Structure 1
Amino acid sequence: MSYAQVAVDETKLSGHEGPEAAVGAAVRRARAAAPAWDALGHRERGARLLRWRRVMTRRLDEIVGLLEDEAGKVRADALIELAAAFEHLGWAARNAGPVLRRRSVRSGLLMLHQRSTVEYRPYGVIGVIGPWNYPVHTPLGSVSYALAAGNAVVLKPSEHTPGTGRWLADTFAEAVPDSPVFEVVTGDGAAGAALCRSGVDKVAFTGSPGTGARVLAACAPTLTPVLLELGGKDALVVAEDADVDAAVEAALWGGCSNAGQSCAGIERVYVAEAVHERFLQRIAQRARDIEGGADGDYGRMALAGQLDVVRRHIDDALARGARAVAGGPESVVPPYVTGPVVLADVPEDADAVREETFGPVLVVNRVRDAAEGVARTNASAYGLGGAVFARRGGVRLARSLHAGMVSVNDVLTFTAVGALPFGGRGRSGFGRIHGADGLREFAAPQALTRRRFAPPLAVQTFARGPRDMVRFERLVRRRGAR
């Protein structure tokens, strides 16, 4: 049997009870296993997580096949996803100790008699709701960091990629048979809602803004904290002095790899007037060399409904006076978009500019200069990632973008750097996965003070005397005046 065949919907097994019973049982098992996992300490947990990575690497062909079957990826896109996922798993395993361990902090003059420390303690059980577009890399951005921080995890993969979620649980059980801290429950949105209500200590969700709002609402009655990694409408700004050929290649890769189904993929390109015509001619030419299909450069659209969104965005842009310089409505041939669609002169109020397309469609618009490109980029309600191409001043332009991550003279490179946090602002969500910020996202800071000796000024006691308060007031005035 394949993983897709055995990954039955557990919400159906529980009959009239719906998903609550299956999800609740998984959470109880995870909670029972969590204390022993926490007690292992950072070093031992890290060793087990690295063992998990070795098992997944040994069984690489299985997961590549699953990603091809369930998510419609071509082999190259599957391998790129797995490489990034393994990188983050390794970073979390090796860096949880240095980031989260107890450390001393200065107590300051007023509290000189206290020794002060801070450390990050695991929440307990983390619920993770994963997406279908990157069903390994994206959930592991939460799962691996949560496990490294000492939590148990219950993952609800997308109902479109249940076999991938099962494979992750199976390989973890093989690598770490003595620590059953990674549970997987399959099902649709009802299972995700049940996970939000199950009493987990935090929920990490990746998906659309609309579903993210529903997750937030489901967690609100119990005040369960939530991490939301939502959509994007990321832009590439091409400055007057940019390397045009390099920017064209980056735009096509950023917009069309994984069939454009990337939350941080490039969907808008703002090109300075001085190089606009050259950029447009070059991208139209190069787009014709790229093909979508089972044997093409990128794979199929994972969901039929997403093809409808792509078609609607193309039609709306053309109806508003845009030009298709590569591809067009004829490129939408279910289940593929047969080649990149490049739209020029698209009005800023068109759907293809305002809404997330999530397909291999690029909007290329002329701007006066890079500064105007930044302004148009920032006008979006989204704020996930972005990119800037410029020979001079690229970092300055990047820092002015309202985005959680930006690449300079490249695209999407931040996704595979273990030490960098990943997350957005606005409609792109809040909270961070990856890096030190990602580890701290799954651990609660605990401040601790320990008295070392009697304070020279005993004012935090009712045994204080008038002289103590006179001296204390003098000290307050002196320090406040500095």
Structure 2
Amino acid sequence: MPARRVSEGRNVAPRSRVGLAVVPGIGEYRHAVKRFVRDARVTKVLATSATVASMWNQLSSRQRCRIVGSIAGALCDRSDELIQACASPQRTDPVETITSELLPLCAALKFLGKRGAKILAPRRVGMSNRPAWLLGVHSVVHRVPLGTVLVLGTWNYPLLLPGVQVAQAIAAGNRVRLKPALGAQRASQILVECFHACGVPADQLVLLDSDTSAAVNAISEGVDLIVLTGAAETGRKVLESAAPTLSASIMELSGCDAVIVLPGADEQRLIAALRFGLSFNASATCIGPRRLLVQAANHEVLVERLTTVLAEMPPVIVHPAARRGVADLVAQALAAGAVDRLGRYDPMQLREQGAMYPLLLDRVTADHAIASADVFAPVLSVMGARDIDHAVDLVNACPYRLAASVFGPAAEATGVAERLDVGTVTINDLIAPTADPRLPFGGRGQSGFGVTRGPEGLLAMTAAKVISRRRGSLAPHLRPRAASDQEMLHGALQMLHGAGFQKRFAGLRRIVRSVKKT
């Protein structure tokens, strides 16, 4: 009979053992983890024992990454529980949890299992391109853990976003403290249990309370890195709290993403993408479409067709934290001349119940507050762009520059994408490509700084440590200063870096003269 683990009164088969079986050279650790999984009575003892923690700290990055990769199997085993835990007024479709959380999170875990060790491997700096004055010096750049990483989770994607951040921090060798968002406690608990079941010690990954005070206390006690996914205002408060301890931070904050429509764009594809972006996860997505930038020639026809499609969409429930802000922004826009093209917007229903039909606001201009605000609701503001240059300026002038999309012929769209000062640009698509585990994700301006995910996100969980060794007896910097040193070194500078052959040759002659004098 296979070993089984007790979880809230139910027996769950721990597929995670398969991941441990392929980890070489950690027999004692694997045996301890098997006991951890098999016997619930010793779980607390093993998870907090110095022996297990010591063995974990002795694992190589390859071994840690393989264990992290095996967590995908544990998540699959508990997928029904996770789907139920992620259900909310904003997440009513189980398919969304599978496609937007479980599939990309498991892909990210597998990516770390296969590629993480290579990304974290020491980089040797040998003779190639070595400065002449460092003859005999060989260096190695190591990636070492930062120490303790505090992950501040989010409510709209409670598995994928904090899950990848925790996995990367653990794979890099850090201790992690995960503070879940309010309402995401159960999903976070199951996530952490999967990490523990696959061999991550309990003191290596600790689940904090969802109350704000838990984050405040953790920051005041001192952590080495804070990773926040949340609103820009929350980011400001976290940075203020982190200032006394000078804790490093990665801020993955809000967006006000634009969709630029070029001449020749596939309108059917564009409208399908906008419909998806306004409905997926109740439009509670930081990279959802918020502004549609259209040139005058295509404006009216496109808006009419979009109106027809959006008029068929059902209402969604806006998160309580966003309702008042959205209602205020929409009221300001309508008062300033924006037009509700669908005519279904009910401000009282939004404020009191949170129910909201997709809202298509036409004639929005750059000076409207809603054109540069982080809106977590199905609101799309249509803005006129005189030409492509104007559209690019509208994107780059917005304080929120998390992502953008460009729809149009591939060559022209690529040219526009290269001019946008945002973290991610998708061409003829939106949202979905950002779930690729190989890609980093981060924003500009008030959308935050630093990256998570991808190789860059994994390296962001480490510090660079350089070890240099000099071989041989040659160490000219250690000998006493000679009268000819200035002339010789000045000549060397000119010979090595002078602009043009004549200047470099003059530097060589200068070296020869100094040697003759010596």
TM normalised by structure 2 equals 0.81
Deviations along 1:5-51, one digit per CA (max 9) or x if unpaired, are: xxxxxxxxxxxxxxxxxxxxxxx979997664342112211221122
- Is residue 422 from structure 1 mapped to residue 441 from structure 2 by the alignment? yes
1:461 — aligned with what?
A: 478
Deviation for aligned residue 1:347: 2.8
Report what 2:26 is aligned to.
none
> Cα–Cα, structure 1 residues 377 and 256, in superposed 2: closer, same or farther, change >3 Å?
farther
Match of residue 400 from structure 2: 382
The answer as to whether partners of 1:70 and 1:160 remain within 8 angstroms in 2 is no
* Residue 351 in structure 1 maps to residue 346 in structure 2: no
Residue 54 of structure 1 corresponds to 73
For the residues of structure 2 that align with 1:30 and 1:154, how far apart are their CA atoms? Answer: 18
1:157–1:186 Cα contact (<8 Å) kept: yes
Specify the alignment match of 1:269 in structure 2. Answer: 292
1:433 aligns with 2:452: yes
Give yes or no for the alignment of 1:103 onto 2:91.
Answer: no
1:172-222 CA-partner distances (Å, limit 9, x unpaired): 222226564211011322111112112221111111111111111111111
1-side partners of 2:212 and 2:231: how far apart?
A: 13
Q: Secondary structure at the residue paired with 1:197?
A: helix
**1:468: how far off?**
6.0
CA contact (8 A) 1:419 1:435 kept: yes
1:97-120: CA deviation from partner (whole Å, max 9, x where unpaired): 111211112432221210122121
Alpha-carbon offset, residue 309 of structure 1: 2.2
Matched, 1:313 2:336: no
Counterparts of residues 30-179 of structure 1 (less than 5 Å)? 36-69=55-88, 72-82=91-101, 83-105=103-125, 106=128, 107-176=130-199
Distance across 2 between alignment mates of 1:252 and 1:30: 52
- SS of the equivalent of 1:326 reads coil
Using the aligned pairs only, state the percent identity.
28
Residue segments in structure 1 that go unaligned for 5+ positions in a row: 4-27, 294-299
Matches within 5 A, 1:286-365: 286-293=309-316, 300-301=317-318, 303-330=319-346, 332-333=349-350, 335-365=353-383
CA contact (8 A) 1:292 1:336 kept: no
* Gap regions ≥5 residues in structure 2: 1-6, 9-46, 500-518
Cα 1:31–1:349, aligned 2, differ >3 Å: closer, same or farther? Answer: farther
Q: Which whole-Å CA distance do the structure 2 matches of 1:76 and 1:128 have between them?
A: 26
Between the two proteins, the alignment pairs up a number of residues equal to: 448
Structure 2 residue aligned with 1:224, among 247, 272, 275? Answer: 247
Higher relative contact order (CA 8 A, sep 6+): 1
Displacement of 1:145 after TM fit? 1.1
CA distance in 2, matches of 1:123, 1:32: 22
**Relative to structure 1, is the Cα distance of residues 466 and 37 closer, same or farther in structure 2, using a 3 angstrom cutoff?**
farther
Contact 1:30–1:125 (8 Å) recurs in 2: no
Does residue 474 of the first structure (1) align with residue 491 of the second (2)? yes
- How far residue 327 of structure 1 moved from its aligned partner, in angstroms, is 4.9
**Amino acid of the residue matched to residue 330 of structure 2?**
I
Measured in 1, the distance between the counterparts of 2:375 and 2:162 equals 22
Moved more, 310-319 or 154-163: 310-319
Query: Whole-Å Cα distance in 2 between the matches of residues 454 and 445 of structure 1?
Result: 28
Task: Please tell me whether residue 207 in structure 1 is matched to residue 224 in structure 2.
Answer: no
Larger-gyration structure (1/2)? 2
Report if the CA contact (8 A) 1:37-1:152 is conserved: no
Aligned mates of 1:243, 1:30 — CA distance in 2? 60
Displacement of 1:154 in angstroms is 0.7
> Would the alpha carbon gap of residues 72 and 413 (structure 1) be closer, same or farther in structure 2, given more than 3 Å must change?
closer
Aligned-partner Cα distance in 2 for 1:77–1:94: 26
CA 1:351–1:126 in structure 2 vs 1: closer, same or farther (change >3 Å)? same
Task: Tell whether the 8 Å contact from 2:256 to 2:374 is kept in structure 1 after alignment.
Answer: yes
> Residue 412 of structure 1: which of 417, 422, 431 is its match?
431
| Separation in 2, partners of 1:30, 1:129 | 26
In structure 1, how many angstroms separate the alpha carbons of the residues matched to 2:453 and 2:208?
Answer: 23
Return closer, same or farther for 1:416/1:177 CA change in 2, 3 Å cut-off: closer
Distance 1:474 1:135 in 2: 62
| Partners of 1:256 and 1:99 in 2: CA distance | 37
